[in-house]
């Protein structure tokens, strides 16, 4: 089972294909291996996002376990947004110690950042083979199944994660999404409320809570959840877009909707939902010419985006034109 420090490091960088990192044939799982105090110090620094501290640790003129060195280098590269370097360092660690769970996790996260989801899936699967009790690794494996369109495999992995750790927030969040998409709103609500108790400051969990509450018809609860998302993460563009839709479609307040759509566009100019509905919010306020000009500009820039043409027609229809 992973130590508490290993789990902290694993969460910082928070299935069974055969394209994971391939350790050298001579690198065998080492059941006698125990992390050194030096490596645990590195995990603490990674968990604290202390890149300078990790750098200093790696620069010490003392001979260290080479696999641990490469694993910490991989973690540092991930922290600095260089998944290619992280993947290479994780591979070097595994060439030295094939059964190094921390290196498999790091390599899997690097592969995911590179869009190599089969490799990521296999890496997380190998980590759970080495440590079947690691609920976070099971949840990460499930997330890769989702990306690959394997929802039933994802559900299985989430269920295993909860069997080992009923308070695994990542698994609760993932199951809520699956239940909501399957139309099981009550089951989704039970999972997301559990996740909120475990991780009350997680913006993604509050966002899912808003989606679930909207599906349950609890509009005040959904609005409150979206507002909490923005308190926790002011740059969460999707929450702005969805709040705009709530005010436009359900609360009859196009001016407030316009404010949220404009904020979403400022955060993410490529947001089709915000761009498409901003014109409708303008039209609802009697600003038809501004709405049409907005759509004409979008259609010229993105001629293949049918939603802009559709909403331009809705704006005209709503105005009686």
Is 234-321 in the same CATH topology as 166-233?
Answer: yes
The predicted structure's pLDDT at residue 319: 58
**Which CATH number is associated with domain 1-130?**
1.25.40
pLDDT band (50, 70, 90) for residue 11: very low
Lowest mean pLDDT among 1-15, 106-120, 148-162, 262-276: 1-15
With 50 as the cut, is the pLDDT of residue 7 above it? no
CA distance linking residue 73 with residue 42, whole number of Å: 10
pTM value is 0.84
Q: With pLDDT > 90 as the criterion, what percentage of the chain qualifies? A: 82
Residues 6+ apart with CB under 8 A from 75: 9, 12, 13, 42, 43, 46, 54, 86, 106
Tens-digit pLDDT profile for residues 27-56: 444 667 889 999 999 989 998 999 999 999
Residues 6+ apart with CB under 8 A from 153: 15, 142, 145
> Domain coordinates of the chain in residue numbers?
1-130, 166-233, 234-321
Residues 6+ apart with CB under 8 A from 63: none
CA distance linking residue 15 with residue 11, whole number of Å: 19
The predicted structure's pLDDT at residue 318: 63
Residues 6+ apart with CB under 8 A from 24: 95, 98
Tens-digit pLDDT profile for residues 146-202: 999 999 999 999 999 999 999 999 999 999 999 999 999 999 999 999 999 999 999
Q: What is the DSSP string of 1-66?
A: ---HHHHHHHHHT----S-S----TT----TT----HHHHHHHHHHHTT-HHHHHHHHT-SS---H
Tens-digit pLDDT profile for residues 103-143: 999 999 999 999 999 999 999 999 999 999 999 999 999 99
With 80 as the cut, is the pLDDT of residue 320 above it? no
Tens-digit pLDDT profile for residues 196-242: 999 999 999 999 999 999 999 999 999 999 999 999 999 999 999 99
For the domain made up of 166-233, the CATH class stated in words is mainly alpha
Contact indicator for 131, 137 with CB cutoff of 8 Å = yes
Reading the block at residue 174, the tokens are: 């993932």
pLDDT band (50, 70, 90) for residue 5: very low
Sole residue written with tokens 């509009």: 219
Domain covering 234-321 assigned CATH 1.10.10.60 in the classification? no
Contact indicator for 104, 126 with CB cutoff of 8 Å = yes
């Amino acid at each position: 089972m992973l130590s508490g420090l290993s789990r902290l490091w694993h969460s910082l960088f928070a299935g069974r294909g055969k394209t994971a990192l391939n350790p050298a044939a001579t690198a065998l799982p080492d059941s006698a291996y125990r992390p050194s105090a030096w490596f645990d110090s590195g995990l603490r620094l990674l968990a604290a996002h202390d890149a300078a501290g990790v750098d200093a640790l790696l620069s010490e003129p003392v001979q260290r376990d080479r696999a641990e060195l490469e694993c910490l280098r991989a973690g540092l590269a991930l922290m600095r947004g260089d998944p290619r370097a992280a993947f290479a360092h994780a591979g070097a660690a595994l060439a030295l110690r094939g059964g190094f769970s921390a290196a498999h996790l790091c390599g899997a996260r690097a592969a995911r950042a590179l869009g190599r989801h089969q490799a990521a899936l296999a890496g997380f699967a190998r980590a759970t083979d080495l440590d079947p009790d690691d609920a976070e690794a099971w949840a990460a494996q499930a997330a890769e199944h989702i990306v690959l369109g394997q929802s039933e495999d994802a559900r299985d992995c989430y269920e295993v994660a909860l069997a080992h750790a009923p308070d695994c927030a990542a698994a609760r969040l993932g199951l809520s999404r699956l239940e909501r998409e399957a139309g099981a709103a009550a089951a989704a609500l039970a999972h997301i409320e559990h996740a909120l108790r475990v991780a009350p400051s997680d913006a993604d969990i509050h966002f899912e809570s808003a989606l679930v509450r909207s599906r349950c018809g609890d509009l005040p609860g959904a609005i409150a959840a979206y507002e909490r998302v923005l308190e926790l993460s002011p740059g969460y563009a999707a929450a702005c877009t969805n709040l705009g839709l709530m005010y436009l479609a359900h609360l009859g307040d196009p001016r407030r909707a316009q404010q949220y759509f404009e904020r979403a566009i400022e955060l993410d100019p490529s947001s089709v939902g915000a761009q498409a509905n901003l014109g409708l919010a303008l039209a609802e306020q009697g600003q038809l010419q501004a709405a049409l000009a907005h759509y004409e500009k979008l259609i010229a820039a993105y001629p293949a985006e049918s939603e802009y043409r559709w909403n331009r027609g809705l704006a005209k229809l709503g105005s009686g034109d």
